[in-house]
């Protein structure tokens, strides 16, 4: 009988809309490679961009927040492993899993450290340098508690592991570094990739509902693009992403070549058509999907310190120029756009980085071995991390009864 995995999703995966969606599909592939029977459940409504999980043999289940119907569902399923998609989901459903399936291994995929992103966003808003006081915010208190309650958390960036260990004193045995998991780029694919002379214009891409992405577009519009356009008057800035807001649409300007393109079905084609990818992120966390897409498709980049964070490990050769100042950013963008020698070097570096740091074969076997080891002696693992049991106990005394109160109120309305 195959082991079973229940994924409780914050949203239904949309790999064409966000890096988070691609990440979830990669995690599903890892467990399918070990013959897990997988069920994906979410309380979120499906959109037109949601991936058809049934087409790859993943069962689906619509669940309800603050409703005991989940209890019966999870008890009947009795999964070997439960994977929570972000800490907010673990808050909602973690205590229910612990109560009805106490022997299930509880995994958390943080996606990125939400508390780090929130703290950086507030520091930018306050026009101050990011420091520990911004890091130790209310979101951090919730997120760290969730990590401690789970048996293991997947962390997408080595930088974030260092923050969790050094700033929050999290035991490294509760953390597992798992970046984007990609197929290697063969030499034949590299040779077939669009060349410098076959490409035109600048590109950026990202879900407009994600605050760092919209801020980056604003930064491009107001501070960076006018400087680039002055140097390259025929160049255009093509901006792609799902869920374009009315505010974003108002930034479109044909005369200035600042073009809001919206959702694309084929990010690879978009990237291969463009000469340079721009990612002027001023806050954020985790690994940046747009930079991964650029590397896969041989598109050199200009980004910021935040954008580059965690992307290159200890490698010195990158696929990007890294600048935080708008003027310096624009100068490097124009230079990369115009200089074939620089451009070819950065493209080559991008292929090397993907094959060196993100080869899924490097991680898949090891993470499955780690999971098997935890499953073989889960009780000992939990005894070594008693603080997590304390937090789960208190959560079940507070969140549990708040949830039951909400459920009762909802019943009264009906």
Could you tell me the CA-to-CA distances from 220 to 122, 213, 217, 256, 358 in Å, in that order? 20, 11, 5, 12, 29
pLDDT along the chain (414 residues), means of 10: 96 93 97 98 94 98 94 98 97 95 98 97 97 96 96 98 97 97 97 96 95 97 98 98 94 97 95 98 97 98 98 96 98 98 98 98 96 97 88 70 66 61
**Nearest one of 347, 340, 236, 334 to 297, comparing CA atoms:** 347
Instruction: Report the C-alpha dihedral over residues 313, 315, 317, 321, rounded to 10 degrees.
Output: 30
Residue ranges per structural domain of the chain: 4-182+360-413, 187-357
d(CA 165, CA 175): 9
Q: What is the pTM of this model?
A: 0.93
Q: What is the pLDDT of residue 394?
A: 72
DSSP annotation string for 59-117: EEEE--TT-THHHHHHHHH--SEEEEESHHHHHHHHHHHHHH-TTSEEEEE-SS-HHHH
Q: What is the pLDDT of residue 239?
A: 98
d(CA 5, CA 34): 11
d(CA 4, CA 77): 8
Residue 246, judged by CB atoms within 10 A of its CB (0-12, 13-18, 19+), counts as exposed
- Report pLDDT digits (tens) over 380-395: 999 999 888 888 877 7
- List residues bridging with 105 in a β-sheet: 81
List of residues 6+ apart from 271 with CB closer than 8 A: 203, 205, 277, 293, 294, 296, 297, 299
Query: Could you check whether 4-182+360-413 and 187-357 share the same CATH topology?
Result: yes
Instruction: Report the C-alpha dihedral over residues 27, 31, 36, 41, rounded to 10 degrees.
Output: -10
d(CA 140, CA 352): 35
DSSP state of 45: P
- The CATH topology of domain 4-182+360-413 is Rossmann fold (3.40.50)
Q: How far is CA 3 from the centre of its chain?
A: 26
CB 20 within 8 A of CB 180: no
CB 319 within 8 A of CB 301: yes
Domain 187-357's class?
Answer: alpha beta
DSSP annotation string for 383-398: HTTHHHHHHHHHHHHH
CB 406 within 8 A of CB 399: no
Q: How far apart are the first and last CA of the chain?
A: 41
- List residues bridging with 202 in a β-sheet: 237, 276
CB 91 within 8 A of CB 142: yes
Counted residue by residue, the chain has a size of 414
CB 122 within 8 A of CB 67: no
Q: What is the pLDDT of residue 397?
A: 65
Instruction: Report the C-alpha dihedral over residues 285, 142, 154, 391, rounded to 10 degrees.
Output: 160
Q: Dig out the tokens for 162 from the structure.
A: 């260092």
- Report pLDDT digits (tens) over 140-177: 999 999 999 999 999 999 999 999 999 999 999 999 99
d(CA 169, CA 385): 13
> Measured over all CA atoms, what is the biggest interatomic distance in the chain, rounded to whole angstroms?
70
Is residue 9 within a helix (H) or strand (E), and if so which, with residue range?
strand 4-9
CB 369 within 8 A of CB 313: no
φ, ψ of residue 81 to 5 degrees: the values are: -135, 145
């Amino acid at each position: 009988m195959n082991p079973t995995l229940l994924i409780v999703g914050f949203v239904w995966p949309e790999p064409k809309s966000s890096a988070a969606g691609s990440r979830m599909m990669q995690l599903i592939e890892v467990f399918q490679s070990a013959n897990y029977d997988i069920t994906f459940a979410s309380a979120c409504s499906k959109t037109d961009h949601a991936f058809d999980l049934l087409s790859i043999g993943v069962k689906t289940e619509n669940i309800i927040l603050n409703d005991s119907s989940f209890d019966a569902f999870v008890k009947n399923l009795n999964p070997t492993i439960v994977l929570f998609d972000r800490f907010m989901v673990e808050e909602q459903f973690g205590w229910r899993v612990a109560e009805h399936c106490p022997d299930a291994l509880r995994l958390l995929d943080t996606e990125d450290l939400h508390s780090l992103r929130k703290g950086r966003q507030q520091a930018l808003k306050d026009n101050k340098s990011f420091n520990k006081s911004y890091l130790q915010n209310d979101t951090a208190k919730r997120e760290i508690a969730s990590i401690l309650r789970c048996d293991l958390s997947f962390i997408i960036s080595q930088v974030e592991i260092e923050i969790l260990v050094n700033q929050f004193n999290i035991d490294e045995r509760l953390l597992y570094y798992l970046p984007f998991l990609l197929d290697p780029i063969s030499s034949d694919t590299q040779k077939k990739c669009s060349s410098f002379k076959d490409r035109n214009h600048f590109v950026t891409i990202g879900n407009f509902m994600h605050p760092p992405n919209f801020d980056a577009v604003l930064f491009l519009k107001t501070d960076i693009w006018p400087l680039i356009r002055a140097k390259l008057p025929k160049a255009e800035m093509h901006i792609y992403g799902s869920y374009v807001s009315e505010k974003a649409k108002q930034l479109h300007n044909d005369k200035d070549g600042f073009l809001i393109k919206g959702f694309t079905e084929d990010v690879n084609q978009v990237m291969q058509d463009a000469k340079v990818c721009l990612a002027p992120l001023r806050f954020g966390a985790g690994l940046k999907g747009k930079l991964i897409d650029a590397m896969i498709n041989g598109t050199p980049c200009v980004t910021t310190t935040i954008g580059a964070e965690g992307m290159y490990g200890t490698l010195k050769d990158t696929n990007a120029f890294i600048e935080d100042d708008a003027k310096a950013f624009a100068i490097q963008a124009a230079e990369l756009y115009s200089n074939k020698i620089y451009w070819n070097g950065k493209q080559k570096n991008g292929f090397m980085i993907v094959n060196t740091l993100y080869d899924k074969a490097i991680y898949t076997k090891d993470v499955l071995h780690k999971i098997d080891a935890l499953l073989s002696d889960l009780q000992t693992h939990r005894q070594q991390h008693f603080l997590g049991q304390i937090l789960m106990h208190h959560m079940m005394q507070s969140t549990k009864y708040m949830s039951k109160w909400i459920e009762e109120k909802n019943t009264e309305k009906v």
